[in-house]
């Protein structure tokens, strides 16, 4: 009888622990999907910047809009304590939240500017401004993300 109670208690404890872990999973999954989407969009733009693919303002604008959309709600995807073994988010995000939020705001500002340039079919302006996106991403990834 005691062993059955002990097993039931362990099962109940594991259930509560799993429920707590999964409570954060949607935010983690969303931010990981958004970051992968950003990487995919930049991967589509990079050949244009390297002159391996011809400029197409509409196509580039579509890819940059993915970046803008993903960054627009990024802050909401990092609620306090939303860490997990499969997350590369560092505790510094919550320790220096204002700095982290500022880095996200700057990245969104750069992406929004790039979207406007691409929508206006301003190839020269886009090419000149594009490196700022990498700098903005690095300014967030370097202090706030595990390699």
- What distance in Å separates the CA atoms of residue 98 and residue 92, rounded to the nearest whole number? 11
pLDDT at residue 85 in the model = 87
- Confidence tier at 114 by pLDDT (50, 70, 90): very high
Task: Determine phi and psi for 135, rounding to 5 degrees.
Answer: -65, -40
With b for 16 or more beta-carbon neighbours within 10 A and e for fewer, the 101-116 pattern comes to: eebbebbbebbbbbbb
- Per-residue pLDDT for 5 more than 50? no
CATH topology of domain 25-144: 1.20.120
- Confidence tier at 16 by pLDDT (50, 70, 90): very low
Average pLDDT, the chain: 87
- What distance in Å separates the CA atoms of residue 123 and residue 55, rounded to the nearest whole number? 7
Coil, strand or helix: which one is 11? helix
Domain boundaries, the chain: 25-144
pLDDT digits (tens, 9 = 90+) for 115-125: 999 999 999 99
Entry pTM: 0.82
pLDDT digits (tens, 9 = 90+) for 86-110: 899 999 999 999 999 999 999 999 9
pLDDT at residue 1 in the model = 52
- Confidence tier at 71 by pLDDT (50, 70, 90): very high
DSSP letters, 36-66, are HHHHHHHHHHHHHHTTSS---HHHHHHHHHH
pLDDT at residue 54 in the model = 98
Q: Return the higher-pLDDT residue of 126 and 10.
A: 126
């Amino acid at each position: 009888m005691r062993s059955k109670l002990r097993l039931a208690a362990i099962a109940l404890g594991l259930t509560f622990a799993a429920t707590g872990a999964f409570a954060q999973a949607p935010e983690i999954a969303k931010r990981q999907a958004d970051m992968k989407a950003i990487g995919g969009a930049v991967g589509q733009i990079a050949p244009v910047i390297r002159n391996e693919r011809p400029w197409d303002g509409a196509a580039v604008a579509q890819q940059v809009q993915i970046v803008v959309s993903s960054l627009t709600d990024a802050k909401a995807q990092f609620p306090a304590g939303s860490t997990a073994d499969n997350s590369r988010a560092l505790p510094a995000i919550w320790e220096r939240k204002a700095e982290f939020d500022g880095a996200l705001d700057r990245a969104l500002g750069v992406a929004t500017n790039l979207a406007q340039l691409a929508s206006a079919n301003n190839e020269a302006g886009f090419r000149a401004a594009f490196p700022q996106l990498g700098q903005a991403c690095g300014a967030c990834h370097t202090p706030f993300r595990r390699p």
